[in-house]
Amino acid sequence: MSSSLDIAPLLEVSGLTKTYGSFKAVDDLSFSVFPGDVFGFLGQNGAGKSTTIRMLLTLIRPNAGQIRVFGMDLQQHRREVLSRVGAVIEKPDLYGYLTGQENLSLFARMSGKGITKARIQETLELVGLQKRAGDRVKTYSQGMKQRLGIACALVHDPDLIILDEPTNGLDPQGIADIRNLVLSLSREQGKTFLISSHLLAEIELMANRMLIIDRGRKIVEGSVRELVDPQDRELQVETLDDAHALECISHTPWAGQLMHDRLPQVVLSMSHAEIPALVDALVGQGVRILALRPVNRLEAYFLSLTHA
């Protein structure tokens, strides 16, 4: 994955704005995606994620702003840019009465790139569908359809892959399959992804960089590791007697670090390095600890920045 240091952006969005009457769906949005990134595009429902993606794919026109992809202005070089982009928007648009292989062959012909049968088979293997390639898509699970949709986005070997809510409606195994596929393509083939999602834990597992938007505006952009620092967290301490635990903590150096808005739960704001000493102090006072849970991860960070 890219560190983005001294590397030109693969995708650069500047001042992007889309209005519908008096409503601003996207409001002066700017961000950059670098080669090799798995870029998480986060926002609550209605935040403007899908509108932004449709502008990136020229499905709708912005009212203002510029989109540069591969160093080219998207409006001026639309055909050339889009020939190097693969995308799945919401649910893949597949033909249920055709087999998986027939669907992929159809999309391959539509790309106009003269894609070989060998490449089609390679792509089916890449998404784990080679054994079901001859079955009609209407017999596929939702997860298999999603993987076939990604195969359609990959078959022409694009440099940028845009996925809009790729795990919507999937069971835990389907979600894990999509996550592992993205990570494999990123690590082994150096593919660059922009992934829109509201499943925060999944973005935390997949992405190296992220953008959070709220009501069409950028809230924050940066490295997931830097934005969600595991050294500075909120820690929930689950005990057999939380009232006793709270009383004990009130007589320790951590009394001022209790999160009073979480009472009667025992939650403290503290650094990673302080945890062993806290545990020793509580056990020494007879507190029986059941579990320690870090809660200041991406979900807590996201909710602290956006409107409910």
Q: Which tens digits make up the pLDDT trace of 78-92? A: 999 999 999 998 777
Predicted model pTM: 0.78
Measure the CA angle with vertex 250, ends 244 and 251; round to 5°: 105
Rounded CA-CA distance 11/37 in Å is 10
**pLDDT-derived band of residue 193, with 50, 70 and 90 as boundaries?**
very high
Instruction: Answer yes or no: is pLDDT of 261 > 80.
Output: no
**161 pLDDT band (50/70/90 cuts)?**
very high
- Whether the pLDDT of residue 306 is over 80: the answer is no
Please state, in angstroms and rounded to a whole number, the distance separating the CA atoms of residues 55 and 15.
Answer: 13
Structural domains in the chain, CATH included, are 11-225 (3.40.50.300), 232-305 (3.30.70)
Lowest mean pLDDT among 122-131, 230-239, 286-295: 230-239
List of residues 6+ apart from 114 with CB closer than 8 A: none
Quickly count: other Cβ atoms within 10 Å of residue 13's Cβ: 24
C-alpha to C-alpha distances, 164 to 38, 151, 197, 283, nearest whole angstrom: 13, 15, 7, 47
- pLDDT of 297 > 60? The answer is no
300 has a pLDDT exceeding 70: no
